[in-house]
Chains A and B, each alone.
Chain A
Amino acid sequence: MSEPLLSIENLITRFPTKRGRLTAVDGVSLTLERRETLGLVGESGSGKSVLGLSVMRLVQPPGMIEAGSIRFAGTSLLDLSTDEMRRLRGQRLAMIFQDPTATLNPVLTIGEQIGEVLRWHLPSIGPAELRERVVEMLDRVGIPNARQRFGDYPHEFSGGMQQRVIIAAALILNPALVIADEPTTALDVTVQAQILDLLRRLKDGEPETAIVLVSHDLGVVGEMCERIAVMYAGNLVEVAPADDILDDPKHPYTVGLIASIPRLDREVGALNPIPGRLADPVTPPPGCKFHARCAHAFERCRVERPVLKTLVPGRQVACHLHD
């Protein structure tokens, strides 16, 4: 059990654009243990979704993984044939997307869409057993009257219920790794809490499921996850246990992210945004990509790119301030 469930080494994913090659994931290394819940946070465009899609090998062409390795449960994902990779998806690796309404096909019933996972991975399954297992799963994700709703179409469900259906499809085969890409962003706040609670309960009931929760919301991630990885402009800038990162952030970007969370328990004041904009991913600045927005930047930050270094076991940060 010494080998981690997922280990990503120096992953680079790029998209060719008219202006040049856009580097969405720029040399990310990350490991994930079995049963772990890892939060992946960062602002829009930081590359967190592309990192998730890279692990699934679902980066949309012309984007492609240019370098690095992804080892999942002992196999190198980037060396698998497309067919071998397809067999892993849905069975060992699953993904939950942001917008439940867009993720479900409007012309197929939810029973058909969840059943599709079973039909692909268990070809010998009969229609009665398939129906039984789908209904049981719908019940587990909290869809009332699951048996009656098997034949309903997606538009007959609310957004929160649709997300439950998607979670049912993702988890029906007990995958070892679930990548949840902003699963609650499109939902209103009360439903958000229900969905997160559902994910947590389902995970606790499984012997080996690990979750990567991609989000721009540190509050959500802090509540759900054991560890948090902060991403900025395609790089990991800080990786640490959730409590440590929230109580004592090391990287100036993480400090800024936490400061920008609106707080109800403090005096009412202006929001605290991080000044400036995300570094251009086509022509990134030299040195640390965050230096233009960083209050603590000094000469070295403008010329040398910091690498992720271990401060204490379990805490990593990429910043010259912590050398």
Chain B
Amino acid sequence: MSATSPASVESLDPPVAAGRRFVSELVRNPKGLTGFVLIFGVVFIAIFAPMLAGHDPTRQVLEARFLPPVFAEDGTWGHILGGDNLGRDILARVLYGSRTSILVALLVVFNAMVVGSILGAIAGYFGGLLDAVIMRIADFQLSFPFILVAILMLAIVGPGFWTMVFALSVALWVRFARLVRGETLKIRELEYIQAAKSIGVGHVAIIFSHVIPNVLPTIIVIATFDVAEVVIAEAAISFLGLGTQPPTPSWGMMISEGRNYLFENYWMALGPGIAIMTTSIAINLFGDFLRDTYDPRQERL
């Protein structure tokens, strides 16, 4: 039978078709394209920072102390964004700082997404006591501002890069949990869940192969917005001295260091500030695009 049918009838592999759709939607959406290009740029910088920087971000050069940026009076092309209070090249530090910011954001959002989605799906699917316990913890946590929860966690476990990742993940999971629980409550009543049960599929498999794939588009959209928020939160926590520790450059910490010299040497905070702003705008634009294109509630299946 199948040998006689022409090969051209065969449809594209789902991943290939999905990839083509992504590209064609992206080029038609200027906002999304801008976001995508900027994100690509930031990731590129993070990966190739050593080749692009031109200076060691931790090397202190006495003559470069408080050196103004190239566009200001007395600036030089050798240090385009100038030097900081210890004579380190600010451009090199901004470029290297992208590594910390992006790594933290991706790790935190990934942890929170996985843990939050699974707990939310369990709560919504099984209901009852399990639901009550998980969601009361979430409600309790949501009654505090996100950044405050993270700082509280850091106060308990102590400052540092990995503890910051842990604290931010703990602070963020509740959003995913609430969202996924709500969607799960809706999905578990649908007939295809009943149908899956009627062919003998177990509860865990129903959660992972029937419930979560249906919530995934929404989860991904929320995740992109949270990436932007975590970049800013990392900056805030490092600014308070609880996150990334010197001499590792991080955008938040650079702003924190620059704060003391803001009136005389504003450029110490300018570079990292622009970097944070650009990254979060880029991710938000891209997140908007993903939502418009993939959220099933916005038309199409």
Contacts and interface: CB of A to CB of B under 8 A. Distances in A.
Contacts of A29: none
Interface in B206-236: 209-210, 213-214, 216
Contacts of B145: none
A103 B202 contact: no
B209 A108 contact: yes
A151 B2 contact: no
Chain B: interface residue count, which band? 20 to 34
Contacts of B11: 148, 151-152
Given A102-B192, A148-B5, A90 B200 contact: yes
Contact of B214 (A106, A151, A169): A106
Main secondary structure of the interface of B (DSSP, over half): helix
Nearest to A172: B199
A58 B14 contact: no
A87 B301 CA distance: 33
B74 interface: no
Contacts of B51: none
Interface in B169-196: 190-192, 194-196
Contact of B301 (A98, A102, A106): A106
Given A97-B194, A108-B210, A145 B5 contact: yes
Given A87-B200, A90-B200, A151-B11, A104 B5 contact: no
Given A102-B191, A102-B192, A94 B199 contact: yes
A148 B199 contact: no
Residue in B1, B13, B195, B301 whose Cβ sees the most chain A Cβ within 10 Å:
B195
Interface residues on A, range: 35 or more
Contacts, number: 91
Nearest to B296: A106
Nearest to A166: B195
A56 interface: yes
Contacts of B9: 145, 148
A117 B199 contact: yes
B201 to A, nearest CB: 6
B215 to A, nearest CB: 10
A97 B214 contact: no
A99 interface: yes
A94 B196 CA distance: 11
Contact of B192 (A56, A88, A89, A103): A103
Interface in A88-140: 88-91, 94-95, 97-99, 102-109, 112, 116-117, 120-121, 139
A34 interface: no
A266 to B, nearest CB: 38
Given A105-B192, A112-B209, A145-B2, 16 more contacts: A89-B197, A89-B198, A94-B198, A97-B191, A97-B194, A97-B195, A102-B192, A103-B192, A106-B192, A106-B214, A107-B216, A116-B209, A146-B1, A148-B2, A148-B5, A169-B195
Q: Considering the complex of A and B, which 5 residue pairs feature the smallest CB-CB distances, nearest first?
A: A90-B199, A90-B200, A102-B191, A89-B200, A95-B198
Interface of A: 56, 58, 60, 86-91, 94-95, 97-99, 102-109, 112, 116-117, 120-121, 139, 145-148, 151-152, 155, 166, 169-170
10 contacts: A86-B200, A86-B201, A90-B198, A102-B191, A103-B194, A106-B192, A107-B216, A145-B9, A147-B1, A148-B10
